[in-house]
């Protein structure tokens, strides 16, 4: 995750702070968003504590811009196993863009939740 200065071009401003986090591969969309939110707040807090004495560094390499997801991106392939598509299933938002597939002309929606312990 990076906190960068806004620039005219996408992903082109100097970097103020960066951090990263590790996922274990079992997190669902809402859990990933929670982790991202916490990390974002940590970066903002760091920025505010150090402001205005902040040094930035110039970005190196090619810009990176992820395209926006659309509902059609949540379609599953009925000829693949759940295991083969698990990463695809777990990142789909159950409310905004749930996983789905078509079978015999009918659309089926799949929502995945973890069992509460």
CB 26 within 8 Å of CB 83: no
Q: What's the average model confidence in pLDDT over 80-88?
A: 97
Residue 72 tokens read as 């059609």
Q: pLDDT category, 102, cuts 50, 70, 90?
A: very high
Greater confidence (53 vs 68) lies with: 53
Distance from first CA to last CA of the chain, Å, rounded?
30
Q: What's the average model confidence in pLDDT over 72-80?
A: 96
Q: Which residues of 55-78 are buried (b: 16+ CB within 10 A; e: fewer)?
A: eeeebeeeeeeeeeeeeeebebee
Q: Residue 71 has what pLDDT?
A: 87
CATH topology of domain 69-117: 3.10.25
Given a cut of 80, is residue 63 above it in pLDDT? Answer: no
Q: Residue 78 has what pLDDT?
A: 97
What φ, ψ does residue 114 adopt, rounded to 5°?
A: -85, 145
Give me the DSSP letters along 1-45.
-EEE---SSTT-SPEEEE------S---HHHHHHHHHHHHHHHHH
Q: Residue 50 has what pLDDT?
A: 94
Model confidence pTM above 0.85: no
Q: pLDDT category, 94, cuts 50, 70, 90?
A: very high
């Amino acid at each position: 995750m990076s906190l960068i200065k806004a620039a005219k071009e996408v992903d082109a401003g100097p970097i103020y702070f960066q951090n990263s986090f590790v996922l274990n591969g079992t997190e669902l969309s809402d859990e990933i968003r929670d982790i991202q939110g916490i990390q974002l707040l940590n970066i903002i807090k760091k920025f505010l504590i150090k402001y205005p004495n902040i040094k930035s560094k110039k970005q190196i390499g090619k810009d990176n811009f992820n395209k926006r997801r659309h509902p059609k991106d949540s379609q599953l392939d009925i000829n693949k196993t759940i295991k083969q598509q698990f990463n695809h299933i777990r990142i789909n938002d159950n409310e905004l863009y749930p996983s789905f597939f078509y079978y015999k002309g009918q659309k089926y929606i799949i929502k995945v939740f973890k069992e509460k312990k």
